[in-house]
Chain A
Amino acid sequence: QQQVKQSPQSLIVQKGGISIINCAYENTAFDYFPWYQQFPGKGPALLIAIRPDVSEKKEGRFTISFNKSAKQFSLHIMDSQPGDSATYFCAATLKTSYDKVIFGPGTSLSVIP
């Protein structure tokens, strides 16, 4: 119940295309869903986050879509660029403890020219 599933494991997108990464969870007590971006050899950095009372959040080319009834959420990267090539992790935290972040296994995105 504490797991966050993520797909695909890897993704190759042409420059200018849309990258879509999907995540699913079981525990309805999760109340904060961040996405992290990690470049090789670096620590993850928060990209965008959403709470379950919102169905969509957009920041620049990055959009999170959230489907509370299906317990699914996804990251869309519009106009994907080679500089977006990185590993992306979805995650979830409980309302009772922001100390326990449950991370998905990650998606390795490659944007090719």
Chain B
Amino acid sequence: DGGITQSPKYLFRKEGQNVTLSCEQNLNHDAMYWYRQDPGQGLRLIYYSQIVNDFQKGDIAEGYSVSREKKESFPLTVTSAQKNPTAFYLCASRVRGGNEQFFGPGTRLTVL
């Protein structure tokens, strides 16, 4: 059953703590993405990666970090430098040459 897995579905952290969100895909897609979604707003791109061991900043990369050590995995770390981290985080992937991004189910992060 191919798809994108994000875990956990809900995550609670105390202010000042770093937290890592997991994203795994078994679609054999080359490109992967992280978006942030806030109520009443569209999706905003945090980071993306077109190939293993390479990634680029999106529109709102400050306070976030990523790694791409394996093709199927693209974890996102929300650092303590992110001023307003409470949001719904979405991971997506795209096959090379394709124009559709496929989304995972999302992780809702709440920082207390």
Contact = CB atoms under 8 A, between A and B. Distances in A.
Contacts, number: 57
Given A98-B94, A98-B99, A99-B50, A43 B42 contact: no
A89 B48 contact: no
A43 B99 contact: no
Query: Chain A: interface secondary structure?
Result: strand
Contacts of B94: 98-99
A41 B106 contact: yes
A36 B92 CA distance: 13
A44 B103 contact: yes
A89 B18 CA distance: 31
A9 interface: yes
A103 interface: yes
A49 B100 contact: yes
A34 B94 CA distance: 14
B74 interface: no
Contacts of A101: 43, 45, 101
B42 A105 contact: yes
Question: What interface size band does chain B fall in?
Answer: 20 to 34
A106 B40 contact: yes
B41 interface: yes
Contacts of B6: 43
Contacts of B64: none
A80 interface: no
B103 A45 contact: yes
Contacts of A89: 42-43
A93 interface: yes
Interface string A88-104: 01010100001111011
B31 interface: yes
Given A43-B4, A98-B101, A100-B45, 16 more contacts: A6-B42, A36-B103, A44-B103, A46-B100, A46-B102, A49-B99, A98-B94, A98-B99, A99-B50, A101-B45, A103-B43, A103-B44, A105-B41, A106-B40, A106-B41, A106-B42
